Amino acid sequence: MEQHTKAKFWKCALQVNPSSYITYRGADHNLTEEEYNRELLRVAKENNIRVIGLADHGNVDGVDPIRNIMNQNGILVFPGFEIASSEKAHFVCLFNEETTRDELISIMAKLEVDIHNPTQPSKLSAVQIVSKVDELQGFIYAAHCTDDNGVLNRKLNHVWRDPKLKAAQIPGTLDELGGDNGFKQILLNKNPDYRRETPIAIINAKDVARPEDLANPKASCLIKMTRPCFDSFKLAFQDAESRVRLNSDVSENYYSRIERLKVTGGYLDGIDIELSEHLNAVIGGRGTGKSTLLECIRYALGLAATGKRAQKQHDDIIRENVGKSKARIELVIRSSRMNGKRFTVARRFGENPVVIDEDGNISALTPSDLLPEVKIFGQNEVYEVAQDEDSQRQLLAGFLKIKDQELQTRIEENLRRLKENRSKLVEAWNNMAEVQDEVSRLPKLEEQLGHFKALGLEEKLKMVPLLEEEKLLMKRVTEEVVPDLNRAFQSVRDSLPNTVFLNDANVEHLPHAEVLRKMRTALDRIRHDAEILLTQWYEKYTASNNLVASIAQELHAAIQKNESTLEDTFKELPSSEGKSGKEIGIEFQNLVKEIERIRPKRALIENQTKIIADLKAERKTINENLSKLRSERAAQITRELKRLNKRLLGKLKLLKFRTRSESINPWCDWDFRR
């Protein structure tokens, strides 16, 4: 037996006629009553119609055959009839699914319908008929209200305003009515002469004379009920705004949802709820488990609360109601992000959430992959958000949808570039500071060198700076040039194509395997040819490198020879201020060595200065781009804010009162005004 645990929209055709009705139109469908009813059933099932309202003109002879075949196939039938008032306005009257044919005949008699001439108007007025049907626990709606025999076309505004008249049938959509005749304004409850305290429910229903008429979308409408029955049907029209829809009102919406919640163990042990795909509300007194239920959902999804107090409350609730008995929580989720597939998220206290797919296999996905934008707020959490501006911004950010995703991507890219620029600038300034510190020593060192020259040592020791310069050049060759070449050579070798990923095992099952094999052959040829060239090059490199090393040794030996000669020269130098000639010579040599080491760094200052200038120019350009992009985004947010305020009119007002620095937080501050 079908279980009905949640409210949903059921397709209802509320003006279906028996097989004999077509003669009223002077036509024939060439079907027996049994054939007509079977075909009617087939079309109803094909179009997922679950409720039928029978409404022949003053005739109920065909009720039982249709009701029997429909009920046997899970389709509910509300028996009834169509009636014309003394003003010749047409209405459809429907009654409880268990109402018998004889009871219907009795009801028609009370409504003063001439069963021998059923198409003739009743002697009762429209107001009397509406009131009488209400007394008889039936349901009445204004049939084809905009046509010749409709309530609106006959200008019966007093009938229209009768609160016992709950619904009116129109032939199509509101937009198809046009605006010249004024019907649309009445149906929208904007005409003061027809204004109702509660707007009337608008439905589509169509005289079904042939079974195929039932397939027309304008022959049915949608009524939200938990279990289809007449009481639920009537109750839906007490809240028509949320429970009555035209087929044309419902567009395909794809969204994620929690379909089921099950708890094993703990305070909520045995809870197994099938949730509606629409709004779900948990109603109960204090201490009945509403907050516990919400926190169980949060815990199963592995979500943190907003704010320290809310998180502490969540932890306390879970520890007390789930943790003591090591309870297990299961959620069945339909994920739009995963193309509408169902998953089960299960979590036992003290363990991590586990995602299980439709086939019962453990999935590598996480709850956040299934419901990436889900938000959960407890009662105290809402209060905490209302007290904290940062939380308000985060909350509003989820509703202020930036439609141009490319714009947001460009902002993030510029922020990334700005961060990189900052790192490079800091590094360049640090490098500049280090070089400047060393170069700033040059004047002092050169001044000290001048004192040595004053001793008349320059001519005798003129070889010292030249030898130091040669040492620096040799060091650059052996420690920079040659190793750089070796690294470059190895990098080329490491970059040669490896075609293992294109082996036969990986490509033989693919539709263009032969083409991929040709590609593998071409890449193998590149590698083969490159390795030959690299081998030849390496041989030349090795020979040249050996030659360079030999020359370096020659240079090193020559420098050592000169330095040995210098030592003899140092010994011949006259003593001064208690220092021997040798000590003076070594001091002079070290001073020259330090000067020669620092002097080339003057060029580095110019280079670093240029780098810093270029980075500053780049930073200025990035900031300008960010300014433009943020202005564009701010305009989008303002437009979205106006849209939200319009939708929240009379409930909540979002008011922009200041902007924070976007380098800290890119969102604006907002004020909540009830």
- Share the mean pLDDT of the chain: 85
Q: Where are the alpha helices (DSSP H) in 278-401?
A: 290-301, 308-318, 367-370, 379-387, 389-397
* Chain segment 131-180, per-residue pLDDT in tens: 999 999 999 999 999 999 999 999 999 999 999 999 999 999 988 887 66
Domains of the chain, by residue range, sit at 8-248, 257-387, 412-612
pLDDT value for 22: 82
pLDDT value for 635: 81
pLDDT value for 406: 76
Arch. (CATH architecture) of 8-248: Alpha-Beta Barrel (3.20)
For 215, how many CA atoms within 13 A lie in the half-sphere containing its CB? 8
pLDDT at 210 over 50: yes
* Chain segment 7-35, per-residue pLDDT in tens: 889 999 999 999 988 877 777 888 999 99
pLDDT value for 97: 96
d(CA 338, CA 377): 25
Band the pLDDT of 610: cuts 50, 70, 90: confident
* Chain segment 280-326, per-residue pLDDT in tens: 888 989 888 898 999 999 999 999 887 788 889 999 999 999 998 99
Per-residue exposure over 560-598, b if at least 16 CB sit within 10 Å of its own CB, e if not: eeeeeebeebbeebeeeeeeebbebbeebbebbbbbbeb
Q: Is 651 exposed, middle or buried (0-12, 13-18, 19+ CB in 10 A)?
A: exposed
Q: CB of 273 within 8 A of CB of 261?
A: yes
pLDDT at 237 over 90: yes
Q: 351 vs 260, 324, 343, 512, CA distance in Å?
A: 21, 14, 18, 47
High-pLDDT (> 70) share of the chain, %: 86
pLDDT value for 667: 38
Q: Which of 159-173, 241-255, 445-459, 547-561 has the lowest mean pLDDT?
A: 445-459
CATH superfamily of 257-387: P-loop containing nucleotide triphosphate hydrolases (3.40.50.300)
pLDDT value for 668: 39
**Stretch 84-101: mean pLDDT:** 96
d(CA 615, CA 621): 10
Q: CB of 221 within 8 A of CB of 50?
A: no
Band the pLDDT of 640: cuts 50, 70, 90: confident
pLDDT value for 23: 75
* Chain segment 356-393, per-residue pLDDT in tens: 999 999 999 999 999 988 888 887 788 777 777 777 76
pLDDT value for 297: 95
Band the pLDDT of 75: cuts 50, 70, 90: very high
Give every CB contact of residue 668 below 8 A, 6+ residues apart in sequence.
393, 634, 637, 656, 658, 659, 660
d(CA 291, CA 115): 60
Q: CB of 238 within 8 A of CB of 215?
A: no
pLDDT value for 566: 62
- Cα 497 to chain centroid distance, Å, stands at 40
Give every CB contact of residue 570 below 8 A, 6+ residues apart in sequence.
581, 582, 584, 585, 586
pLDDT value for 221: 96
pLDDT at 575 over 70: no
pLDDT value for 355: 96
High-pLDDT (> 90) share of the chain, %: 46
d(CA 272, CA 265): 12
Q: 508 vs 34, 504, 512, 514, 522, CA distance in Å?
A: 61, 5, 9, 8, 18
Best-predicted range by mean pLDDT (284-298, 560-574, 590-604): 284-298
pLDDT at 73 over 80: yes
pLDDT at 422 over 60: yes
Q: Which of 71-80, 221-230, 478-487 has the lowest mean pLDDT?
A: 478-487
